[in-house]
Chain A
Amino acid sequence: MTAEKLLTRNFDRADSHTLAAYRETGGYTAWDKAKGTEPAAITEEVKKSNLRGLGGAGFPTGTKWSFIPKGHTGPVYLVVNADEGEPGTFKDRYLLERDPHALIEGMLITARAIRCDKAFVYIRGEYVDPWRRFSAAVSEAYDAGYLGRGFDVVVHRGAGAYICGEETGLLSSLEGKKGWPKIKPPFPAIKGAFGAPTIVNNVETLCHLPHIVNRGAAWFAGLGTKTQGGTRLYSVSGRVKRPGVYEASVSITLRELIHHLAGGVTGNGQLKAVVPGGSSAAILRADEIDVTMDVDGLKNAGTMAGSAGVIVMDETVSIPEALMVVARFYAHESCGQCTPCRESTGWIYKMTRRIVEGRGRKDDLDTILDVARRGAGTTICAFYDGAVGPYISYIEKFRAEFEALVAK
């Protein structure tokens, strides 16, 4: 159950962020291998590895790369999404602070595969220490000659907006604008940053690449399920004894993750509910945790793997209050571009709040469900669909608890 540690293997070393420590543990040997490999062969290997994007959408990484137009002559950009912001997720912060060279090596490999000579790393503005750590590693990599010889890295800081974690919102923000998502198509691989073909990949996704190159696609694919390879980092928080970042196979079950890795429920209390993939994932009841954590496993369970931010709730937690907190977040972070999202997130927050404060009306619950369902799928980006996940699942699975408040 506990997989070999790949991404977290150096996390306990005090000097894990340095070039010396990274090299000592095999760092940059994958790049040595990849730089003599044909770009198309790298992409093929990544496709075979079944690596899927670990930022939230779970899209197959090699397939994404292959969307770059063949024979394109102008610039191609790699943009690293280090705008971690999904509530309950903190693994990319660990990677930036504790293993920044793994990200740089993953970027070098990707750049070769997609024939890119410039990358932008978009780090959320609040991440000051991770930004400093990563910037220091970039300087080391320039001094050592890994960077600057046909591949340059620009570290870019965000300014506070959850929506910039959405890949086209991130590109708007990178271009110096408000972070409004863009209508797709065209997808970023065709027309992305500054109008050029662009691959946007999450930090953790890229950190897996050195291992895939060194040990092969078949080995990596074998670590996971049929449709998703590898391990991934789970951010576990809420009412558990040992909150933290855990690395395990994507085939681990939610039960194993909570009860074995994270030590079980705080104070040996009774588990009530779990959000398995960041706040945008539909909630699961305590009797629904025998599910594997891979993209398809959670999709089949009616929720999503998302960013693998696992938020645990015990019987002391009020689900209506939890939904109010989540609804406040979506109301605050809606970028305001699409009417259904801008209006619904605000109204639904107000309704959840009045329910929690004992001012709820009898038809509020059905109104929330109705508004949530009507808006789903009608907006430019996935933000509103992400809000709909919790709106519907919290109410449907814990309806009696909401009704008790409305009836008061």
Chain B
Amino acid sequence: MSIAFTPEQLAEVRRLQALYPDPRAALLPVLQMAQETFGWISLETEEYVGRLFDLSPAHVHEVVTFYTLYFQAPKGRHVVSVCHNLSCHLAGAPRILDHLKSRLGVDVGETTEDGRVTLLAVECLCACEGAPMMQVDDRYELDLTPEKVDRLLEGLP
């Protein structure tokens, strides 16, 4: 697959760059857009995005590797991120994580063979009132039990 934005997306890149005193400030939002478009951030994507900003691939790589929300390898169609920080830990996050591992047959950081789900353990997502909790793609899912986790997994195409 060749890495290139559509003309509409390139117009959006220029719009984002114009929002800031320095166009480079749009790098994070544009990387987000690239990930949504191409699925993950490959070295080729880093080079491509770098050209849009007149930045070296090394600089883009430094940014991509710093943040947790950029995927440097293909991910599943869905990303399940279980919070394992303190409040969730106290509420049984390890049990939820073990349940997910056995149901999905993967370890943390892995994707199911059918490419459906990538399982992650993440730091505090700041929804401790609903501990244990996890994020499924964009959505926060609170007050988890193994049964609720099963229902949520069944709902993922």
**Bound state CA distance, A253 and B114, in angstroms?**
53
The answer to whether A243 and B70 have CB atoms under 8 Å apart is no
**Contacting residues of chain A (320-338) with chain B, CB-CB under 8 angstroms:** 321-322, 325-326, 328-329, 332-333, 335
**Bound state CA distance, A188 and B66, in angstroms?**
23
Q: Contacts A154-B20, A160-B67 hold; do A178 and B87 have CB atoms under 8 A apart? A: no
- Nearest Cβ on chain B to A46's Cβ, whole angstroms: 26
- Nearest Cβ on chain A to B80's Cβ, whole angstroms: 13
Does A39 count as interface, using CB distance less than 8 angstroms?
no
Contact indicator per residue, chain A 148-180, by CB within 8 Å of chain B (1) or not (0) = 000000101111111000000000011111110
Does A56 count as interface, using CB distance less than 8 angstroms?
no
Could you say which of A87, A88, A124, A156 has the most chain B C-beta atoms within 10 Å of its C-beta?
Answer: A87
**Bound state CA distance, A317 and B138, in angstroms?**
31
Does B85 count as interface, using CB distance less than 8 angstroms?
yes
Does A194 count as interface, using CB distance less than 8 angstroms?
yes
The answer to whether B28 and A159 have CB atoms under 8 Å apart is yes
Q: Contacts A161-B68, A243-B129 hold; do A176 and B25 have CB atoms under 8 A apart? A: yes
Kindly identify which residue among B27, B67, B128 contacts A243, using a CB–CB cutoff of 8 Å: B128
Does B11 count as interface, using CB distance less than 8 angstroms?
no
The answer to whether B31 and A317 have CB atoms under 8 Å apart is no
Contact indicator per residue, chain B 116-152, by CB within 8 Å of chain A (1) or not (0) = 0000000111111111000100111000000000000
**Bound state CA distance, A93 and B68, in angstroms?**
20
Chain A residues within 8 Å of B81, by CB: 126
Does A136 count as interface, using CB distance less than 8 angstroms?
no
**Bound state CA distance, A129 and B136, in angstroms?**
12
Kindly identify which residue among A120, A194, A235, A322 contacts B89, using a CB–CB cutoff of 8 Å: A322
The answer to whether B123 and A235 have CB atoms under 8 Å apart is no
Chain A residues within 8 Å of B62, by CB: 177-178
Kindly identify which residue among A128, A193, A237, A322 contacts B128, using a CB–CB cutoff of 8 Å: A237
Q: Contacts A176-B25, A243-B129 hold; do A125 and B69 have CB atoms under 8 A apart? A: yes
Contact indicator per residue, chain A 71-94, by CB within 8 Å of chain B (1) or not (0) = 000010000000011111110110
* A309 and chain B: residue at smallest CB distance: B128
Chain A residues within 8 Å of B10, by CB: none
**Bound state CA distance, A326 and B90, in angstroms?**
12
Chain A residues within 8 Å of B90, by CB: 238-239, 311, 313, 317, 322
* B65 and chain A: residue at smallest CB distance: A178
**Bound state CA distance, A75 and B63, in angstroms?**
27
The answer to whether B126 and A93 have CB atoms under 8 Å apart is yes
Chain A residues within 8 Å of B84, by CB: 325, 328
Does A244 count as interface, using CB distance less than 8 angstroms?
yes
Does A286 count as interface, using CB distance less than 8 angstroms?
no
Chain B residues within 8 Å of A239, by CB: 90
Chain A residues within 8 Å of B123, by CB: 85, 87, 162, 329, 332-333
**Contacting residues of chain B (10-34) with chain A, CB-CB under 8 angstroms:** 19-22, 24-29, 31-32
Question: How many chain-A residues does the 8 Å CB contact rule pick out?
Answer: 58
Q: Contacts A87-B85, A157-B32 hold; do A176 and B124 have CB atoms under 8 A apart? A: no
**Bound state CA distance, A71 and B117, in angstroms?**
56
**Bound state CA distance, A162 and B62, in angstroms?**
17
- Nearest Cβ on chain A to B139's Cβ, whole angstroms: 8
Does B4 count as interface, using CB distance less than 8 angstroms?
no
* A127 and chain B: residue at smallest CB distance: B126
* A162 and chain B: residue at smallest CB distance: B123
Kindly identify which residue among B20, B24, B25, B129 contacts A235, using a CB–CB cutoff of 8 Å: B129
Chain B residues within 8 Å of A237, by CB: 87, 128-129, 131
Kindly identify which residue among B20, B24, B127, B138 contacts A93, using a CB–CB cutoff of 8 Å: B127
Q: Contacts A175-B24, A238-B90 hold; do A87 and B124 have CB atoms under 8 A apart? A: yes
A-B contact pairs, 27 of them (CB 8 A): A87-B86, A87-B87, A87-B124, A90-B127, A90-B128, A120-B20, A125-B67, A154-B20, A157-B29, A159-B31, A160-B67, A160-B69, A160-B70, A173-B28, A174-B25, A177-B27, A177-B63, A194-B22, A196-B21, A237-B129, A238-B87, A243-B131, A244-B129, A309-B128, A317-B90, A322-B86, A329-B85
Binding site for B on A (CB under 8 A): 75, 84-90, 92-93, 120, 124-129, 154, 156-162, 173-179, 193-194, 196, 235-239, 243-245, 275, 279, 309, 311, 313, 317, 321-322, 325-326, 328-329, 332-333, 335
6 closest A-B pairs by beta carbon, nearest first, are A160-B68, A237-B128, A176-B27, A159-B67, A178-B66, A160-B69
